[in-house]
Structure 1
């Protein structure tokens, strides 16, 4: 599908980029989501496509720039990784400068923990503060809060994973190629009074 975007500026090489903490999601949700993206011909970049010996940081930053959509999977240990936070910085930059679409997915983590930098997110940032400059960590905090306040999905035990994956796929398809309006019951605009939520899902 990415080739259909070649006429626009910037020309996207990928439809989607996946940002995730591998240890949390690599063998379950991530695989299911990636397979669904592939089955729907949504050209997606995921880090295992990098060849041996490539400079991961430089290459990944380029891949983010070349993607129409970034899907950020916030999991319990996402903020433990400085590299995940570096990715997130680049994703927000691309949203602001390239109008990239950014979709947060909260996987077994309360969205308020990300928005308020509490629990595992607060602990991770406090640990980074001991090793990294305050300015850098403060920027990561700002980026986390901003991305976590975008429209997104919350997955927990009350929601079946295939249903969530399909909702995300439907939404991306709609954004990449405008279709008739659909009901994305689990999609939430955090911080808005006019929120669409499934009966079992509350972000606030």
Structure 2
């Protein structure tokens, strides 16, 4: 596939997958990644890190090098400091680099993100105690969670079976990447 990443020098990847949890890594995420790869969509997932690489800096760079970030919210996502830091970076890239961000609410309620309630609210309350000396970090995470809830995405409970959800996601990504390539061509970037 002639992707936008091949026409934009800074962008190495078509898609960056942000997720947490072994439970979804071996099921939903692995199926999604396989479907993306079958469509020749160059996808970064943290299992492709080189041994010895510093995780946080490397992941932040990989986010910057991606055209699209797909954020897969599962029950464990907000309990990961790494994921919340990734989410803040993803939204920064959305604002500063016009990166496309696509949220997937996988067996979680998007309304909990909009209102910071339920398990989201519980996790943030825990973080406020844990990070009393750096409350700005928790505020950035809270803001990012509310912002991502405003972005149109997919809610897994509304699309069954899961294979249909994956097909819809891949088709949407494919269309967005092709549109980016057409726009680059129209602007003389290829």
Give the aligned partner of residue 175 of structure 1: 176
Instruction: State the shift of 1:4 in Å.
Output: 4.8
Alignment RMSD = 1.7
Give the aligned partner of residue 48 of structure 1: 47
1:37–1:158: structure 2 CA closer, same or farther, 3 Å change rule?
closer
Give matches, 1:90-169, under 5 Å.
Answer: 90-132=89-131, 133-156=134-157, 159-169=160-170
Q: TM-score, normalised by structure 1?
A: 0.83
Residue correspondences, number: 178
More helix by share: 2
Q: SS at 1:42's partner residue? A: coil
Q: Give unmatched runs, 5+ long, in structure 2.
A: 181-190
Q: Give unmatched runs, 5+ long, in structure 1.
A: 180-204
Equivalent pair of 2:88/2:141 in contact (CA under 8 Å): yes
Q: TM-score, normalised by structure 2?
A: 0.88
- CA deviations over 1:78-136 (Å, ceiling 9, x no partner): 10011100000100000001000000000000110111111111111111111112211
Give the aligned partner of residue 197 of structure 1: none
2: distance between equivalents of 1:62 and 1:160? 34
Q: SS at 1:15's partner residue? A: strand
- CA deviations over 1:41-93 (Å, ceiling 9, x no partner): 00000001011111000100000000000000011121001110000010000
2: distance between equivalents of 1:78 and 1:116? 16
Give the aligned partner of residue 7 of structure 1: 7
Equivalent pair of 2:5/2:66 in contact (CA under 8 Å): no
